[in-house]
Amino acid sequence: MKLKNSLALGFLLLLSLSHRLSSPITVNAETFSSTNYLIEMGHINVTSGKKSSTTYQLTDSVGQIAPGRFQSTGYVVRSGFQYIYDTFREFSFSIDDIDINLGTPSPNVGTTDTNIVTVSTPYGTGYQITASENHPLANLSGQTIPDTGCDSGTCTETTSGVWTGNSAYGFGFNVIGIDSSGVATGIGTSDYFANNTYFRQFANRSASPTEDPQIVMSESIHVENRRARVSYKVIISAIQPSGDYQNAITFTAIPQY
Amino acid sequence: MFNLTLSPAQTEYIVKPGGNIVHSLTVTNNSNQNLVLTTSVRPWVPGTAEGAIDYRHAIPDPNIIFYLSNPDLKLGQAFNLPAYSKKQLVINAAVSQKSDQKDAYFTFFVSQDISTLDPNRTSQSLAEIGAHLLLAISHTQELPSQAQIGEFQIRPIIKDSLLTPIVFQAKIQNRSDHYFRSQGKITLTKNKKIIQTLDLFPETVLAHQQRSIRCHQPSLPAQSSPQPQTCRLSPPLWPGIYTATLALDSSLNGSSAAITFAVLPFSVFIPLLLAALAIIFTPRFLTRRRRLSP
């Protein structure tokens, strides 16, 4: 009895298979349309995308007919939506707070403010961020706070130096790479600032001769949401007229080629 | 807050002298604030072999003129980009008939408009973001390439089979008048058998410049490793004589370079050698010391 059932089941399967093989196979592309649009789609994928954890990275296309990478002399075919990530070509840059509020500086007391810059680059591409000022800090009367020379008096727009004392006057900045929790890592910035005690001047575009914007953060690899904290610091002497001083700091972010 | 995205970040075009390219670029305001922005184009030259950009030494080319095709916007004119919105910018580059066949590199900038600064406020950060345009000015679509391999070397000098990875370094030199993408592979052989191949990451090598090589991650198929890494061979390796051959794709018309090197188990040898020396010489030393002591 069992044998008869098995034979019957096998016969049915064979019949079904032969019917399937003898029938023409129809492949339907999907088309959606209205009076205003027409979308012709070769496939509707069940899922596709980019997945990752600490130990793996995966891109997939499920539902695609013949997904994969096919290569021969003279051509490469990348079939499947996951390959869209090969052409991910966006470049993003943000500054979380564009106001730099140094308040009204008091003599021999350091006043600081910070903001955070974030950059994301296309795959395989690095970035560089330059900084410059339109002029040194100035009040409405035209009096200026000079750019800092740091503790040693030797730091410039191209060279950073330690600035921890309150008797070295001026205006300067530090940029330090941070992680997502705000902890200093120095990633992207250590070539320009050894740590957060190192400061330098902003390149002054109104100087004569003009000072070119200087790189303050860079990497030659793809990054996603790479962050750095920018610290602005001003210390004035007792003879510096009090009041509000201001300038405009420009950060320029570009991908590397 | 400033938060902008530009896409695409870099685009390459081949254009004939007297020709014109039309390039579309999308700028997205990811912030919750309206931004007043302006646009500009600046030429650049390569800064380093790692891809840095140098604007200082770039000389503007009067034979290439940029303008925007947007009906409501001119190059340099301020425009408002509302929060969470995007705008397509259509850039035209008109190349003069007089232009030489060469490459020209530019960055298209979208900048915060400085005229929006409030003079009564404290200092402000302004931001600008750029995307690159590489123009190959040529009468032909098939850009002639001429590549050369330089400074092919292997680190470290002492190659241990167990502990230290072996790193391959080289520079691809572009001897032609137009950019190309580095394509090729490093093949590692031992006793004429291929042990491993490392695919070069396709870096842009600009005209008459050089670029340091990087590789795809060997553990992943090329299309799944968008992040280039140092070309390296991880231990353990069998001791012996290896040959590393760096060969460029035939389309680059470049030669190949090869280095033969030995890998030995120094990390095992040296401690054993030191231990052996200690066993041999320590008793002799102690004996001699006993003899000398009164």
pLDDT digits (tens, 9 = 90+) for A168-212: 999 999 999 999 999 999 999 999 999 999 999 999 999 999 999
Q: Are residues A121 and A192 in the same domain?
A: yes
Q: Is residue A227 part of a domain?
A: yes
A241 and A155, same structural domain?
A: yes
Q: What is the pTM of this model?
A: 0.78
More confident residue, A127 or A245: A127
| CA separation for the pair B167, B218 (Å, rounded) | 13
Are A190 and A70 in a shared domain? no
Q: Decide if B6 and A90 are in contact by the 8 Å CB cutoff.
A: yes
Q: Find the residue in A nearest to B216 (Cα).
A: A124
Q: Is the pLDDT of residue B121 over 80?
A: no
Based on the structure, what is the number of domains in chain A? 2
A10, part of any domain: no
| 3-state secondary structure labels for all residues of chain B | CEEEEEECCEEEEEECCCCEEEEEEEEEECCCCCEEEEEEEEECEECCCCCCEECCCCCCCCCEEEEECCCCCCCCCCEEECCCCEEEEEEEEEECCCCCCEEEEEEEEEEECHHHCCCCCCEEEEEEEEEEEEEEECCCCCCCCCEEEEEEEEECCCCECCCCCEEEEEEEEECCCCCEECCEEEEEEECCEEEEEEEECCCEECCCCEEECCECCCCCCHHHCCCCECEEECCCCCCEEEEEEEEECHHHCCCCEEEEEEEECHHHHHHHHHHHHHHHHHHHHHHHHHHHCC
The residue type found at B148 is: Q
pLDDT (average), residues A114-123: 95
pLDDT band at A86 (very low <50, low <70, confident <90, very high): very low
B48 and B151 assigned to the same domain: no
CATH code, A164: 2.60.40
Q: Which residue has the higher pLDDT, A58 or B240?
A: B240
In a domain, B159, yes or no: yes
Q: Does B223 share its domain with B159?
A: yes
Q: What is the CATH number of the domain that holds B12?
A: 2.60.40.10
B251 plus B132 within the same structural domain = no
Which residues are CB-contacts of A142 (< 8 A; sequence separation ≥ 6)? none
DSSP string, A145-211: EPBP-TTTT---SS--EE---SSS-EEEEEEEEE-TTS-B--TTTTTT-SSTTEEBPPEETTSSSPP
- Residue A60 has a CB neighbour count (10 Å cut-off) of 17
**Average pLDDT of the residues of chain A:** 79
Q: Note whether A240 and A157 are same-domain residues.
A: yes
Q: B180 and B133 in one domain?
A: no
Report which of A46, A42, A67, A43 is spatially closest to residue B223, judged by C-alpha positions.
A67
The Cα A238–Cα A150 span in angstroms is: 18
Chain A, residues 224-253, CB within 8 A of chain B, namely 230, 232, 244-253
pLDDT at res. A201: 98
What per-residue confidence (pLDDT) applies to B122?
A: 74
- Residue B257 and residue B215 in one domain: yes
pLDDT at B280: 87
The answer on A165 and A109 residing in a single domain is yes
Assess if residue A185 is contained within a domain.
Answer: yes
Which of A87, A117, A137 is the C-terminal boundary of a domain?
A87
Q: B119 and B17: one domain? A: yes
Look at residues A87, A119, A135 and tell me which one is the last residue of a structural domain: A87
* A136 and A155 co-located in one domain: yes
Please report which confidence band the pLDDT of residue B214 belongs to, taking 50, 70 and 90 as the band edges.
very high
Beta-carbon separation of B226 and A92 below 8 A: no
Residue B25 pLDDT > 90: yes
Same domain, A238 and A113: yes
Q: Do residues B111 and B151 share a domain? A: no
Tell me the residue type at A88.
Answer: F
Do residues A182 and A229 lie in contact, with contact meaning Cβ atoms separated by under 8 Å?
yes
Average pLDDT for B275-287: 86
The last residue of a domain, from among B137, B169, B195: B137
- Searching chain A, which residue's CA lies closest to the CA of residue B50? A220
Residue A4 — very low, low, confident or very high, per pLDDT cuts 50/70/90? low
What's the whole-number mean pLDDT along residues B33-48? 95
Residues A76 and A106 in one domain: no
- The closest of A190, A156, A153 to A173, measured between CA atoms, is A156
Report pLDDT for A22. Answer: 44
pLDDT of residue A143: 92
Q: A2 in a domain, yes or no?
A: no
Same domain, B124 and B201: no
Q: In this structure, are B133 and B196 located in the same domain?
A: no
The verdict on B58 and B128 lying in the same domain is: yes
Residue B270 lies in a domain: no
Same domain, B64 and B105: yes
Q: Is B288 part of a structural domain of the chain?
A: no
> What chain B residue is nearest to A114 in terms of C-alpha separation?
B125
- pLDDT tens digit sequence for A8-48: 555 555 545 444 444 444 444 444 455 555 444 444 555 55
Residue B271 lies in a domain: no
Instruction: Please give the sequence-ordered ranges of beta strands (E in DSSP) within chain A, or none if there are none.
Output: 30-33, 38-41, 47-52, 57-62, 68-72, 75-79, 91-95, 99-100, 111-120, 127-133, 137-138, 144-145, 161-162, 170-178, 198-199, 203-204, 214-219, 226-235, 248-255
| Domain extent at residue A160 | 92-255
Q: Is residue B105 assigned to a domain?
A: yes
Work out the pLDDT band at B120, boundaries 50, 70, 90.
low
B203 occurs within a structural domain? yes
**Closest residue, chain A, to B202 (C-alpha):** A124
Mean pLDDT calculated for residue range B22-34: 95
- Give how many domains chain B has, as a whole number: 2
Residue B160: inside a domain = yes
In a domain, A116, yes or no: yes
User: In this predicted structure, what is the pLDDT of residue A68?
Assistant: 53
Whether residue A221 is found in the same domain as residue A177: yes
- ipTM of the complex as predicted: 0.85
Q: Both B117 and B153 in a single domain?
A: no
Res A104: pLDDT? 83
Answer for the pair B144, B220: CB distance below 8 angstroms, yes or no. no
Quick one: pLDDT at residue B66? 97
Q: Which residue in the block uniquely carries the two structure tokens 């390039």? A: B23
**Highest mean predicted confidence (pLDDT) among A60-69, A221-230, B232-241, B276-285:** A221-230
How far away is chain B from the Cα of A19, in angstroms, using its nearest Cα? 39
pLDDT, position B80: 96
Last residue of a domain, one of A63, A87, A111: A87
Q: Do B9 and A94 lie within an 8 Å CB cutoff?
A: no
Q: Decide if B254 is inside a domain.
A: yes
**Closest CB from A102, A232, A257 relative to B10:** A257
State the residue range of the domain holding B112. 4-137
Alpha-carbon distance of B74 to B60, in angstroms, equals 20
Looking at B113, B137, B161, which one is the last position of a domain? B137
C-alpha to C-alpha distance for B135 and B177, rounded to whole angstroms: 11
Last residue of a domain, one of B137, B169, B202: B137
Residue A56 confidence (pLDDT) above 60: no
> What gap in Å lies between CA B188 and CA B260, rounded to an integer?
10
Tell if the CB–CB gap between A255 and B1 is shorter than 8 Å.
Answer: no
pLDDT, tens digit (0-9, with 9 covering 90-100), for B140-153: 888 889 999 999 99
Asked, for residue A19, whether it belongs to a domain, the answer is no
User: Number of A:B CB contacts under 8 A?
Assistant: 170
Confirm whether A219 is domain-assigned: yes
